[in-house]
Structure 1
Amino acid sequence: MNGKPEVISEREAARPSTPGLGWEEFSRELVEFFASIKLAMFLFIALAMTATIGTVVQQGERPEVYIQEYGEEAYRWFVRLGFTDVYHTWWFTGLLGLLCVNSLTCFYKRFPAVWRSMRQDKVNVSLAFIRNMKQRAEIPVAAPQEQVAERMAEILIEKGYRVLAKHEPGEVTLYATKGVMGRVGAHMAHLSATVIVLGGLIGSYYGFQEFGVCLEGQTYHIPRGNFDLKVDKFWIDYYENGAIKSYNSTLTVIDQGVPVTTKTITVNDPLVYKGIWFYQSSYGDAWDRIEVARINVKDKATDKVLKTVDLEWQKETSVDGLDLKVTLTDFVADFAFNSTEKKVFSKTIEHANPAVRLAIKERKTLEATPWIFYHYPDLFEIQGSKYAFELVGYQPKKFTGLQIAKNPGVNIVWVGSTMIVVGITLSSFIYHRRLWAKVIPEPNGVTVHLGGTTHKSQIDFQKEFAKLTQRIKTLDA
């Protein structure tokens, strides 16, 4: 700074220089880490363990299910670790993301070199290069150089090779290659894993899967699609021996108040509208309504049955000769009472403690709405009435269980699946083979120096190479 040369002390001069870790070295180490086999094995093991947890522990169940099976303490840990919804946890997504990075990094690291190797037309090779190959032969042929070169090219083309030739003073070099796509197949299959995982992640975060219990004749709004779905009909087909053959639902899509499409769905034959799939999943007896109930009307004093009537759902029925009108208003399959909200509900979907609620009009003066229990007919008495009511049977109303799902990543998964099938097919049945030949003049003809290589199926290539050698020997005929 002052115009004089800087002086470096002996201590500073003797200090060894330590090269820093530059961006090039850092990026190289990063690529090596993400492309490592060890990382891939760790990710596969971790994903296998996670999938095992997701299989053993039921996913998406209500808290009471886990508490009943595993206990409260275990349930709290399940919630903390995400075991109740494994496939939507941040750490499972992270494992899949790392697997994608690993796969893409391997592709980035290895495929460009393979592609350049496939695209290069290596005609300019030395004689020493051919002599050092594993499959090699020196074949004397008593024929002119041009004739031998042309006939060899024809033979190789017949066998499916693409042939390039280079004429130089004193020699002719031939380069033949086939099965280039066999080298691409393995990398395509490798890349397909990333595509499938990507499609799965998109479907997991932007799709949904729900279960709907639907009754015949009812219309339901599908908020995720902004349209309505009407269940026109549900029925079960049976074999002659009484076994269930199939269960079916006829559905109509109503969009903007207009029926758009109608389809009868069965198992594995869904209805699809606006990317939302409606699968026929199950069926069962509804727990909140029935079609008809059979009631005995008894004289309270003598316990004698006066009338037996069949009550249709929410339809008022007059009982002849008794000045009595009865309506079946409610039903629960497994009776329970919420004392806080003062509400009756079915605590399970099983018909364990069925009960019906009646609206009774007697002598135009008494009105009552009692619950009548199938298993406990004398549980409650209707004050002021001279009748007792007994539930002796009922016909449940069947519901159709629909699996409702949307998966925007399914097309991507199909692309990835196609890639893996094509890649494995190419890799398994097509082999990249390359041959080099130098036709060098000799006093009594030419010597063909032949060499070849393949990246797979060495035994088959040895047989092909031997047959090719024998054919070349006959070119002097």
Structure 2
Amino acid sequence: MAQSAATISTGQSRQRGQYRRSLGAIWLEFLGSMNLAITLLVVVSIASVIGTVLPQNNPYSEYLIQFGPFWFEVFRLLNLYDVYSAWWFLAILGFLVLSTGVCVSRHIPGVWREITRYRTHVREKSLLALSQHRRWRTSVDAESVEAVAETALQGYGFRTRREARGDTVVVAGMKGGATRIGYVLTHVAVVVIALGALADGNINLKLRELMGDLAVETRDLPVSQVPAASWLGPESGSFRGNVTIPEESNSGVVFLQVRDGYVVQQLPFEIYVEDFRIDHYPNGMPSSYESDLVIHDPALEEPIRQTISVNHPLTHRGHTIYQASFTDGGTALDLTGHLLDGSGQTMPIAGRVFENLRLQLGGLQRTMEIDDFQLFNVDRDPRAVERTGSRDEFRNVGPSFNFTMRDEAGQAREFHTYMAPVEIDDRWYYLHGMRESASEPFRYLHIPADANASMETFMAFHAALHDRARVERAARRAADVLLAQMGVANPELGARVADTANDMIATLVEGGFGAVNAQLEARVAGSNRPEMLLEFSRSVLQRTMFEIYREQLAARQGVELSMVQTDADQRAFFEEAMNAVSAVAEYGSPIIFEIDHFNHREATGLQITRAPGKNVVYAGSAVLVLGIFLLFYVSHRRIWAMVTPREDGGSDLLMAGINQRRPEEFEAEFADLAEAVENQLGVTGDMPGRRRKDASDSAGPTEQTD
């Protein structure tokens, strides 16, 4: 009874062991299956396409503007903004390594057997079943026939092996076994490439962030103020980051974009920018740009000096430095600020691009943020169309700079100011652009340039409109002139007209012509002839402004007001000045700037990458190419020669071969081989599918081959 129980227990243990082994076999079969590998490769390919089409590692604000709130959040949750470092992408790569590794380990023994075993244990019936076979019945002895067959096989590049089974000798030939190695190499290449991709997947950064050793910084801070928790040490793994270095400056760090923030990657060397150069096409677009770099490395006796440009990077200690972009490097600007409060005062201002200046304007504090400087501003030359009919000629209208004016409440407007006047329709203007948000185009204030190509005349005219005494005198003169032209001599009416002109001037400098029209329409709303009153009031306003302008001309020419005569250019200037006065009221800044001098300084934008797995990927790619070549261009061929002696001293030779790829080529090769054997033996063999009578045996028919 005890023995029976022990037997049952042993049987149950064996069943459990068999179940465990079968479960493990199932898992191995699943991991090494072709379907799983293809599925993983398809997912990796789709992710790679997404990573190629969708720009990677850009600031989140750019993605939000491009895709909108809904899709931005969907793509963010899927980590599509950093596909190659996403957790799911790295997990798939790891699983692909495991799956392909299992597949290779399972199939290597079979492949080894296939390329090392000659399969000499073949039977005559099996050889006759092959489509390519031929038989010879000859009077030559078996040893000579065997030598002929082996020599012929070796002559066609086959490696041979001989085996005797009783009186019968089998010579097995094999060629092209490397195609089986191609199968292994392609799978090994996938593993190697995936390992290289994992090495370059920022795994170190993600692990440090997961463990709380690394904090992503989201504030715009100088590099010296970035906390230590947001720094990565040199040689910390793979990365791709950017850094902007002004001319004659150096940097030993690079900034890595991480989601909506960044971390600072320390470099094991310093980069010094000696000079930056840029060339332009005629339309103003950059044609090429390059940087002269000096690499200071403590491990080097002498620094490295090299010029880099687009598509011509510099590689040092596994770090590749690319010329990626350019920007302003802190151009120094000397500006003159013209106050628009009517005082006519100016204030000199010195600043640099990217510098914030505190200005006290009109009793209120403003912050002026100098954003950018452009040395070239190129547009199409309108005169070229008239001159040559070409629309492909361009002109450079000179330097300009951008700044943002922010009030105490934080509200801001962006401004764009040109240094030199710009010709528009045969007239010259100083252009001052303004917009309330970056999504809007600039709206430009056109200030007419005077005969000295300056804004001085306009600014004096604008200041005169704020002088109440001067305005009152001009308004009274304007009223008298207009009433006299109408044949009306009424001092009281003239005084009322002058008062109206004073009010309109005050409204004009505060709100522009739109505010003046609204004021006038409200005044004449209850009159019998509103259109006539509106027209008269506008004439009074224009004449008052013209009288102020004439007074200005008289003072400049040093003559009596009555002696002033205006020519066509002066009248055109006055018309432009009136429009500019109205636009100044909508300009949105209490000050307008003029560029006196600048010291241009540029900065180069470098992209620095470190990819320790790059060479691994390159090696894997080379192995993959070799494996594919072996798979598709090398054919595994086997040919057997079976020699059987006869009692009459002669012998029978049966040759047969097999090839799984390109059967037409193998058929021709086998025919050539058979012909060579026939030439040596002096007999013709039987081909499959037909009878042939051997010359040495005329007594009976030859054997029918299948």
**What does residue 639 of structure 2 align with?**
435
Residue 405 (str. 1) matches residue 609 (str. 2): yes
Aligned to 1:468: 673
Cα displacement (A) at 1:346? 6.2
Conservation of the 8 A alpha-carbon contact between 1:295 and 1:393: no
Asked if 1:214 corresponds to 2:257, the answer is no
Equivalences for residues 443-454 of structure 1 within 5 A: 443=648, 445-454=650-659
Counterpart-to-counterpart distance in 2, 1:54 and 1:373? 36
Classify 1:177/1:17 alpha carbon distance in 2 versus 1 (closer, same or farther; 3 Å).
Answer: closer
CA drift of 1:6 comes to 8.4
Other structure's SS at 2:133 match: strand
User: Which of 149, 156, 159 is residue 159 of structure 1 equivalent to?
Assistant: 156
Q: Which moved more, 1:400-409 or 1:189-198?
A: 189-198
Structure with greater strand share of residues: 1
Instruction: Write the mapping of 1:313-352 to structure 2, written as runs, cut at 5 A.
Output: 328-332=350-354, 345=369
Q: Distance in 1 between matches of 2:92 and 2:4?
A: 56
Counterpart selection for 2:306 from 251, 263, 266: 263
Contact 2:177 2:635 survives alignment (8 Å):
yes
Residues of 1 paired with 2:193 and 2:48: CA distance?
A: 16
Q: Does 1:47 align with 2:78?
A: no
Query: Residue 290 of structure 1 corresponds to which residue in structure 2?
Result: 331
Residue 41 of structure 1 and its aligned partner are, at CA, apart by: 3.4
The equivalent of 1:309 in structure 2 is none
TM-score, structure 1 length as denominator?
0.76
Asked if structure 2 preserves the Cα contact closer than 8 Å seen for 1:336 and 1:346, the reply is no
1:72–1:152 Cα change, 3 Å:
same
Count of aligned residue pairs for this structure pair: 426
- Give the superposition deviation at 1:302: 9.6
Q: 2:594 aligns with which of 390, 395, 405?
A: 390
Say which SS state the counterpart of residue 354 (structure 1) adopts.
strand
Amino acid at match of 2:303: V
Where structure 1 has 5 or more consecutive residues not aligned to the other structure, the ranges are 306-323, 358-370, 382-387
> Which whole-Å deviations, capped at 9, do the CAs of 1:399-450 have from their partners, x for residues lacking one?
3221100000011001101101111122222212111111112337321111
C-alpha distance in structure 1 between counterparts of 2:70 and 2:601, whole Å: 40
Question: For 1:4-54, what per-residue CA distance to the aligned partner results, in whole angstroms no more than 9, with x for missing partners?
Answer: 75899xxx9xxx999446332112101111122332333234334434544
Moved more, 58-67 or 28-37: 58-67
> Following the alignment from structure 1 to structure 2, what is the Cα–Cα distance between the partners of residues 389 and 237?
29
C-alpha separation in 2, matches of 1:102 and 1:7: 44
Shift of 1:240: 9.1
CA distance in 1, matches of 2:170, 2:593: 106
Give the drift of 1:327: 7.0
- Counterpart Cα distance in 1 of 2:667 and 2:4: 71
TM-score (norm 2): 0.53
After superposition, where does 1:42-441 map in structure 2 within 5 Å?
A: 42-55=39-52, 57-167=54-164, 169-205=166-202, 206-222=237-253, 224-237=266-279, 245-256=287-298, 259-283=302-326, 285-286=327-328, 289-290=330-331, 328-332=350-354, 345=369, 354-355=402-403, 374=417, 375=432, 379-380=589-590, 390-391=594-595, 397-441=601-645
Residue 221 of structure 1 aligns with an amino acid whose one-letter code is: G
- Distance in 2, matches of 1:411 and 1:156, equals 42
String of CA shifts for 1:353-412, please: whole Å, max 9, x gaps.
71499xxxxxxxxxxxxx99733798446xxxxxx9623686753332211000000110
Task: Give the AA of the match of 1:427.
Answer: L
Quote the Cα distance in structure 2 between the aligned partners of 1:28 and 1:301.
91
Q: Distance in 2 between matches of 1:19 and 1:51?
A: 46
SS in 1 for 2:93: helix
Amino acid aligned to 1:179: G
Q: Distance in 2 between matches of 1:68 and 1:100?
A: 38
Structure showing greater radius of gyration is: 2
Shift of 1:130: 2.4
1:364 maps to: none
Aligned letter for 1:445? Answer: G
**1:147/1:291 Cα in 2 relative to 1: closer, same or farther (>3 Å)?**
farther
Distance 1:435 1:274 in 2: 54
CA shift at 1:273, angstroms?
A: 1.3
Q: Give the C-alpha shift of residue 229 in structure 1.
A: 0.5
Preserved CA contact (<8 Å) 2:308 2:322: yes
Q: Which runs of 5+ in 2 are unaligned?
A: 203-236, 254-264, 360-365, 378-399, 406-413, 418-431, 434-458, 460-583, 683-706
> Distance in 2 between the 1:199 and 1:164 partners?
42
1:26 match: 23
Partners of 2:321 and 2:608 in 1: CA distance: 5
Percentage identity across aligned positions? 25
* Deviation (angstroms), 1:198: 1.0
CA RMSD, 1 decimal: 4.1
Change (3 A) 1:78 1:298: closer
Return the letter of the residue paired with 2:108: F
Q: C-alpha deviations, 1:126-182, integer Å up to 9, x for none?
A: 333423334222122332222222122222212111122234542322111111112
Cα distance in 2 for partners of 1:426, 1:5 equals 63
3-state SS of the aligned residue for 1:425? Answer: helix
SS at match of 2:303: strand
AA aligned to 1:211 is: N
User: 1:465–1:299: structure 2 CA closer, same or farther, 3 Å change rule?
Assistant: closer
Q: Helix, strand or coil for the counterpart of 2:57?
A: coil
- Aligned partners of 1:67, 1:242: CA distance in 2, in Å? 30
